[in-house]
Amino acid sequence: MNKTIFAVLLGLNLCNTQTIKQAITQERNSNQRLGYSEDELISFLDSIGNLNPDIWVQNISFPADSTLNNQLSLSRKLSPADVNQLLEAAEEQQISVNFAQRIFPEAIDSTLIKHFTDGYVPIKFYELSEDFDEFAILIGYEGGGENDVYFFKDHTIISKHHIYNRYGFQPEFFKNENNETVIYYTINYGSGTGIWWYQYNFYKYGNNALIPVLTEVQNVDLRFPWALRAYWIETEVISRVPLQLKFVYNNYFLDTEGYTKFINDSTAVAYSIDNQNGKYIPNFSDTKLNRNKLLTYYIAENDLLFINTHYKQIKRELNEEKRQVILK
């Protein structure tokens, strides 16, 4: 890996992305190098490696944390007649506009109505409990990208979530160790050729509310030309009770000759329930990840955090066979 790429990974963002790409092209066609000595680059690496990672963590985690925690809470109790009419509409997979405006006023506005000129709006019913007392109803066509989803407890609407997923709303549910219903689904923060980000969001039913308990990366892919550090991660729920996730992930650095593999690994993380707030707490001991390392797989300006959280590994690689790849 040449000095240009190493400089990018160290956060030398005095150059914009286009300038960096031009520098890479220039180096491919000549022997010219950026004017940084090995000692200067290593000194800069050391300075980043010794910083407190909290200076990056909040900004990187904000989009996922905000989406998890800021869905709309409601407490709208429906009459038995309204519930019966709603369930009949769900069976028909459509609801009259007038009835929908009364039951789901936050979702049914003029913008949505103009798309359904026959007086009906598509809806879909999702069972979230084997007792049929916890369920959800999606407004509009599933798989349309963005949808409002209403969550019910018995006859009461307890929450509305605005969900974006290009493949549609696909919730899963289970009973946790405390016999509480936990649901989870994926949020889609971006999609394209060589770049996408899907995130797991977990909630639990409790006290007539839908309580956020965990957000975790589900699948991310980032490739050149979108980035000079290419990475990929995919997460699988391998156990629900107790909750356990398996992460498979890799990182590659772009060199003038192509990609150089830096990380290619997997690990499993177990989660326990916090007795105070009911949230899932990861146990990263005896695993290869931690919270900050997982943040380096978000689609964000996270290369500095990557250097910081992998500082010891980078230093080790510099002292071994990959030294000339990193500081070419």
- The beta strands (E) that lie in the chain are given as 72-77, 94-96, 120-127, 134-139, 145-153, 156-165, 172-175, 181-192, 195-206, 209-222, 229-239, 244-255, 258-273, 280-283
Q: What does pLDDT average to over the chain?
A: 86
pLDDT of residue 277: 93
- Which pLDDT tens digit goes with each residue over 67-94? 999 999 999 999 999 999 999 999 999 9
pLDDT of residue 321: 54
pLDDT of residue 320: 63
- Which pLDDT tens digit goes with each residue over 198-246? 999 999 999 899 999 999 999 999 998 888 889 999 999 999 999 999 9
Distances (CA, A) of 129 to 173, 180, 184: 7, 10, 13
pLDDT of residue 226: 84
pLDDT of residue 144: 67
- Residues of the chain below pLDDT 50: 1-5, 7-8, 10-21, 23-24, 26-28, 30-32
pLDDT of residue 322: 55
pTM for the whole structure: 0.88
Q: What is the DSSP letter of 194?
A: T
